[in-house]
Amino acid sequence: DVKVTQSSRYLVKRTGEKVFLECVQDMDHENMFWYRQDPGLGLRLIYFSYDVKMKEKGDIPEGYSVSREKKERFSLILESASTNQTSMYLCASSFPGIGATNEKLFFGSGTQLSVL
């Protein structure tokens, strides 16, 4: 079974701290994604990566950066955490291409980040 692992289930940080959220997948997927999920707003794409060292902005990249140095690992960085970044963060991965085998997103179990 495909596994997408996020480093922390719950995280509490202070305003202004630098925060790293790590995500690792074990299925050699090219695509990896970071979403945040907020009540009433659904899942919103922050960044995605379709290859090592490649990244593309999603719908809400402001205040975030990402790093993909190895294919299996995709990190989300909050340079200076703010209270409006309190949210559930979900990492996902997928094979590329329409009609690809297993055409779906595999999600990690999420990190609930609270910024105080």
Partner 1 sequence: RKEVEQDPGPFNVPEGATVAFNCTYSNSASQSFFWYRQDCRKEPKLLMSVYSSGNEDGRFTAQLNRASQYISLLIRDSKLSDSATYLCVVDPQGGYQKVTFGTGTKLQVIP
Q: Is 26 in the site for partner 1 (CB under 8 A)?
A: no
Name which of 10 and 16 has its Cβ closer to partner 1: 10
Name which of 40 and 69 has its Cβ closer to partner 1: 40
Residue 16 C-beta: closest distance to partner 1, Å: 28
Residues 6+ apart with CB under 8 A from 101: 95
Size of the site for partner 1 (CB under 8 A): 26
Q: Is 46 in the site for partner 1 (CB under 8 A)?
A: no
3-state SS record for 10-73: EEEECCCCCEEEEEEECCCCCEEEEEEEECCCEEEEEEEECCCCCCEECCCCCCEEEEEEECCE
Q: Which of 43, 60, 63, 67 binds partner 1 (CB under 8 A)?
A: 43
- What is the DSSP secondary structure assignment for residue 84, as one 8-state letter? G
Q: Is 87 in the site for partner 1 (CB under 8 A)?
A: no
Name which of 14 and 104 has its Cβ closer to partner 1: 104
- Residue closest to 115 by CA, chosen among 45, 72, 64: 64
Q: Is 103 in the site for partner 1 (CB under 8 A)?
A: yes
